[in-house]
Amino acid sequence: MLPHRLTLPLLLTLIVLGDGSPVPAQQGGSNREQFTNKSRFKIPFRFDAAELEQLGAREVELWESRDRGATWKARNRVAPTAGKFQYEATESGSYWFCLKLIDRNQNLHPNSAPRAGLKVYVDLDLPQVDLQLSQGSPGTVQISWNLSDDALELNTLRLRIRQPQREWKEHSIRRAATGSDDIRVEGTGKFEAELAVADLAGNETIERQSIQIRGAGNSPTSTRGEKIATRQRDPGGDRLEMASQFPGPRSKGVKPVAAAPQVDRSTPATPVADAGTGPKNVRRTSTSETTTATPRTVRYVNTLQFDLKYRLRDVAPDEKIPVELWMTADGGASWQLASRDDAGRSPLQVTVEQPGEYGVQLAWQRPSGRGASRPQDGTPPRDLFIVDRRAPELELLGVQSSHKGNIQTVTIRWRAADEHFSDTPIRLLWGPTAEGPWSEAIADLPNDGRYDWKPESQLPDSIFVRLEARDQAGNLRIAESPRPVRLSTGGLEDETQPGNDAAPLSDDSTR
């Protein structure tokens, strides 16, 4: 058994970094649930060598709990010399950890019930932002917003506005999840607003909207802006430290987010998905969402509410034929009536409760009896709609400038992942400052993790680099270098933090 003077929890320290890079262990730390937006990380550990020898320890075992300590299971074993565990979270939610030693006789130390030494909440979801602009009384614009996230950090809420023909400036607002403010407009033209907020894990959503302010007697027109999703505010990664003591479980009141997608498909007569009527906090997706669906196709949207346009063949324009929309969320095992349009006039509005895969099919019938009957339970859907509101994962791993003769090469390395990437989801941009303006270097890059950019025009002595990763639903993730890359001398001020490895990560590092 363990010597009396050995207190196992005090001997080990776990540090979790989202980029998979180990850092020097630190004693102490908090045993509160800590937040990270990384799904892959390492859990380094450290034990006193003399104590391990005295114990006869042969392996270190990692235990995990997904229900905040109610139940535990052993996850993995490594030799004490390994110094770390590789861990990959499968979804958002709570992940609690503890370590046990296994001696030469396969006994566990300590042999008591597991107690959490590291409590992590993995949050892979972006805050949802609904930003709306409207022209109220003459000369004013009303800005209203609604924010939604299980771990919203309201002190990060900020609003910038740009008056017509003016520069951007900060505008003070009340830090609340729901609110509004009236702003006096200076002149006519385009008025823009940009709202940004982050959650406790560092996921940040930036929503930009604009409204065209016209003169007296004319109605304003609103133009949807772009939602920008930024994975992390601190490029150095998240440091989650092992607690030096083990108090009882304490919850921050954050509800676990189970990211189990439902199923959603569609098989209308001739349907077209249109996200134009969906919630304003989601950026309008690409034109691929508005093309006519054909049997056995997959289409992507990033809203929970969208219009399903359809066309009934051989139907006169003045002929009113009731149309029913049937949906399945279980691959066709069961179908439910989602909506009905007695006038038979496209579009039908589709509303789902959560992201996932959904099948849809239209049913209609003429008085003569001709038409399309409702799908029977057990009938697989012929078309698929995937509702995806999660931005891709994207990390900028390194930027290096080099010269060979008169040819300059800027090598960019990254890691990106998404379940719904196209073949060419990456876009590279550069800017003279951290605030831009951003110019496109190249678009439609494959997700190869590396690109050697040979600029065709003269660049400044130093530049900032921006990468964009967009999935087929239109969700966007941006990674920017926080420090400039020097080009004139071939030197580098890359975007990685001191102590982090800017080289491409091996398979071992990313698991």
The CATH-assigned architecture of domain 8-122 is Sandwich (2.60)
pLDDT for 298: 83
pLDDT for 417: 93
Q: How far apart are CA 131 and CA 173, in angstroms?
A: 13
Integer-rounded Cα Rg, in Å, for the chain is 27
Query: Closest Cα to residue 245, out of 62, 121, 118, 122?
Result: 118
- State the DSSP code for 243: P
- The full set of domain ranges for the chain reads 8-122, 128-230, 265-387, 393-486
Q: pLDDT class for 434, splitting at 50, 70, 90?
A: confident
> What is the residue type of 315?
V
Q: Tell me: the pLDDT tens digits for 449-496?
A: 999 999 887 888 899 999 999 999 988 888 898 889 888 654 444 433
> What is the residue type of 464?
F
> What is the residue type of 495?
E
Q: Are 92 and 255 in contact (CB under 8 A)?
A: no
Q: How far apart are CA 122 and CA 202, in angstroms?
A: 11
- How many CB atoms are located within 10 Å of the residue 266 CB? 28
Q: Is 315 exposed, middle or buried (0-12, 13-18, 19+ CB in 10 A)?
A: middle
Concatenate the DSSP letters of all residues of 295-328 into one string. TT-EEEES-SEEEEE---TT--TT----EEEEEE
Q: Are 263 and 359 in contact (CB under 8 A)?
A: yes
What is the average per-residue pLDDT within 208-214?
85
pLDDT for 3: 36
Cα 170 to its chain centre, rounded Å, is 26
Longest dimension (CA), the chain: 90
Neighbouring residues of 135: CB distance < 8 A, sequence distance ≥ 6: 141, 142, 185, 211, 213, 219, 220
Q: Tell me: the pLDDT tens digits for 70-103?
A: 999 999 999 988 888 888 898 889 999 999 999 9
Tell me the percentage of the chain whose pLDDT exceeds 90. Answer: 24
pLDDT for 231: 52
At 276, is the secondary structure helix, strand, or coil?
helix
Cα 120 to its chain centre, rounded Å, is 18
**Which of 23-37, 39-53, 243-257, 344-358 is predicted with the least confidence, judged by mean pLDDT?**
243-257
Residue with tokens 């565990």: 85
**In the numeric block, which tokens belong to residue 223?**
């133009």
At 459, is the secondary structure helix, strand, or coil?
coil
3-state helix, strand, coil in the chain (%, to 5): 5, 45, 50
Q: Domain 265-387 falls in which CATH fold? A: Immunoglobulin-like (2.60.40)
The model scores a pTM over 0.75:
no
- State the DSSP code for 292: P
- How many CB atoms are located within 10 Å of the residue 420 CB? 16
Neighbouring residues of 441: CB distance < 8 A, sequence distance ≥ 6: 428, 429, 430, 453, 455
Neighbouring residues of 299: CB distance < 8 A, sequence distance ≥ 6: 266, 273, 288, 289, 293, 383, 384, 385, 386
Q: How far apart are CA 77 and CA 55, in angstroms?
A: 17
393-486 CATH choice from 2.60.40.10, 1.10.3470.10, 3.60.21.10, 1.10.1240.10: 2.60.40.10
Q: How far apart are CA 111 and CA 102, in angstroms?
A: 10
**How would you classify the pairing of strands 323-328 and 336-341?**
antiparallel
Q: How far apart are CA 402 and CA 454, in angstroms?
A: 10
What is the average per-residue pLDDT within 499-504?
29
Q: Tell me: the pLDDT tens digits for 252-302?
A: 222 222 222 222 222 223 334 443 333 233 232 232 332 333 335 788 988
Q: How far apart are CA 116 and CA 187, in angstroms?
A: 60
**Distance, first Cα to last Cα, the chain:** 34
What is the average per-residue pLDDT within 172-186?
89
> Across the chain, what does the average pLDDT equal?
74
pLDDT for 382: 82
Q: Are 401 and 461 in contact (CB under 8 A)?
A: no
Q: Tell me: the pLDDT tens digits for 5-18?
A: 333 333 333 333 33
Q: How far apart are CA 44 and CA 87, in angstroms?
A: 11
Domains 265-387 and 393-486 share a fold: yes
Which homologous superfamily does the CATH classification assign to the domain defined by 128-230? Immunoglobulins (2.60.40.10)
Neighbouring residues of 483: CB distance < 8 A, sequence distance ≥ 6: 493, 494, 495
Kindly tell me if the per-residue pLDDT of 29 is higher than 90: no
pLDDT for 256: 25
